Amino acid sequence: MANYSRSLLVLSLVLVFLNFNSALGATTAVTYTVTSLGANPDGKTDSIKAFHSAWAKACSPASPAVIYVPVGRFLLAKAVFNGPCKNNAITFQIAGTLVAPSDYRVIGNAGNWLFFEHVNGVTISGGILDGQGTGLWDCKASGKGCPKGATPNVPCHIVINGCHNVKMLGVRVSASGNSPNTDGIHVQMSTGVTILNSKISTGDDCVSIGPGTSNLWIENVACGPGHGISIGSLGKEQEEVGVQNVTVKTVTFTGTQNGVRIKSWGRPSTGFARNILFQHAVMVNVKNPIVIDQNYCPDEKGCPGQESGIQISDVMYQDIHGTSATEVAVKFDCSSKYP
């Protein structure tokens, strides 16, 4: 059996969905402690009812509120925190650990584990999220029929989809380099996302950037193990929105498969990638430090003999240095239609 470590997220500082003038302002926030509402910190008793109760209390009034999770391990099955809320200043202050069910079949096809929807002005601060991914990874390694995972369409730890002005600060993602399809952070259909001062260890892309992403800023991120920071894969759909205005700077890649990469399917598409800056990157024993691959065609299905329709333009590389684990440090395999 494969020896995979557990999947952990350490939100050491803050994840913020920003769309408000001030977080707490001068008004004193009301605090709702989940243990006072029935949550059990034993890591075995599902505390979802207490968390939903705290959310309902924080969401309803217009005044600032704090949902406080004290020290302990709190088991949560699938948790959905729905808006819209009257309150645009809700803080999840986590001192303990949120734990997914150890039986991966409970949420394996659920779509999400922790899901925030239609909310503005939510801050998630501190704490550890333990996804307990070992069982699912072992199942996948065995070749047996297994659930796709809690995020089946985009298998990863954190998904930012259809959001505006999200700030992620001091996030740590820790998963084995052998864990399958475990992107650290995936961004798509979102604008104004910032990822700062974070460390990501995983079995796939540390950060993956999908269609519809614009005005993305990534800075001071350490990646490894993993597959690097990737724009794409793009062009999976023929009608697809593009990616633009992406800055990746002051990043370090250690023992990763790739460094900075742009990847598109080798088939027609209306998408694009433009105005991209990769700056101040350190490569430490990276197999493919700089990659543009416009002939991506996994298993040679649905795309052999075709040309990528993704137009890539205005990509700048500045101060990229370090060591390559292979003889080819820079590989540009561009579309013959849009070279």
Catalytic residue among 227, 314, 321, 333: 227
Distance CA 249, CA 225 (A): 18
- Report yes or no: 47 and 40 within 8 Å, Cβ to Cβ: yes
Residue 123 has a CB neighbour count (10 Å cut-off) of 19
Chain-centroid distance, C-alpha 292: 22
Catalytic residue among 130, 204, 205, 293: 204
- Report yes or no: 283 and 322 within 8 Å, Cβ to Cβ: yes
Residue 153 has a CB neighbour count (10 Å cut-off) of 11
**Residue 138 is among the residues annotated as catalytic for this protein:** no
Distance CA 280, CA 220 (A): 10
Distance CA 141, CA 47 (A): 31
Residue 53 has a CB neighbour count (10 Å cut-off) of 17
**Residue 280 is among the residues annotated as catalytic for this protein:** no
Active-site residue set = 204, 227
